[in-house]
Chain A
Amino acid sequence: MKLLVHMLATLTIIGILSGGLLSEVSKWAKPKIALHRKAETEKAIFLVQPDAKSQKKIETVDFEIYRVFDENNDPIGYALPYEGNGFQGNIRLMVGVKNDLKEIVGLQVLEQTETPGLGTKVTEEPFTNQFVKLVAEPNVGWVKGAPPKKTNEVQTITGATISSKAIVDIVNGGLQKLRDVKNSGVEL
């Protein structure tokens, strides 16, 4: 009986002390972590929308999207974070489009777990630069092994076709969702 009390008391005391300490540290760390996340998103927005001077989160829809403005405070387009399946895991990217959703301005991969050296090439400029000024209507297409002939096509990376296609699919998925929302009459 005495042992039981001793055992329970020991674990309880350790648990309480540990919980107390961690909640204090977490109180200190939380705002800092949130700040980093915000700074990261902001950086990505201005990378996919190089002409933007300011941005604002759109609150009227249930997913994350940002409206971006130029120096005269005129809206010039959107920055949309979107995610989907890659070759091995999730890919999260941010795509910048013009107001009419017909032309892509830029693309940044935010998070990925693709094969190092092969799939990770989708995060590098030779690939992402293909999305600059890319026509996104009716959707983005891809070609393999040759430079694209149409204005809405990108060339997949040799050795990383699945990762490249995954990026195209995610972009198409995100833009489709945006078009649907816009067509349904929601103010964006």
Chain B
Amino acid sequence: MKTSMKYLGLFVIAVLSVVVSFGVVSAQTDVTICFGFQDLETEFWVAGHRAITETLRGQGIEVLEYNANEDPNRQLEQIRECIAQGVDGIIIIPQDGDSANTIVAEAQENDVPIAVFNRPPNDRSAGVIVVADNVSATEQAVEFIAQKALRQFEITGEAVTPLILVGALQDTNAIGRRDGFFNVITRYNERYPGLFNEPIEVATEWDAATALANLEAAITANPNVDFIFTSSDFLFPTIRSVLEPRGMWVPMGQPGHVLLAGLDGDATACQLIDQGYVDATGVQNLFLEAELTMNRLLQAIEAGETAPNEVLLDPGFALTAGNIFFQRSDMWGCVLYDDGFLDQ
């Protein structure tokens, strides 16, 4: 027993020492920015995280990173901890638009300037909010598909059945993308009656497993779907796993091709446009957004502004099979893809 007690004591001390000494941060600069993100569950957020941290550290700024693991309560605790540590500014990628309001208010009440990256609070009047114009980017991508559908309709006279994979609707990005999709469908149906059938909506909750189950059910019930729009490119592999066994995963130019479009502009979308399976994707200009976030926050810190309030819009653009040759380098996903991101 004595021996086991000794080992136990040594073990406890060793665990404590290892835990606290692992990863000690030593860098010290004049400006410290707290970067709290909800998680890095998709390529888009990984790339966004990389763009922000590299941009900040490139300027010699100390970055304190906090991952909330998709828990808004945890994120609130982490931001409070950042405030307690006396950071100069805060950048967050919130879990949802509602909790973002509370977190922005918490920072501003404590006189710390805060910027919200890409996932805006429902109330956009507080904080520096950098956001892609989801409606515009989606409209650009869906417009490209609508033109293709129109040509098909003029030849065959058969209405096109569209399907949209909807994101979690507590996220304003998901709402904007759904709105952009329906704007185009409605507009084209008004101009060309009978072009599109009633769109099928499939809930994903931004979760691949949920998307898979719901898409399987929707395609089984409606095997004549001609056009699928995914509210985020990270679901293309899910779409493929549903379409391929049914013989519907066919590249453009061949009979049976299902028109495919998405939004985000990730590496997988770039690869699939290259291969001819995906027709278009709405691209968020991630590099521009990271730069806008950092510049506005640093400007506020320098000017002593504790509660800067401004919405900075990234208009986005559509990368299509038609323009990929010219605009490839503007899409963050193609940059990652060309760097071998998908081979890692």
B partners with A: no
Q: Which A residues form the contact surface with B (CB < 8 A)?
A: none
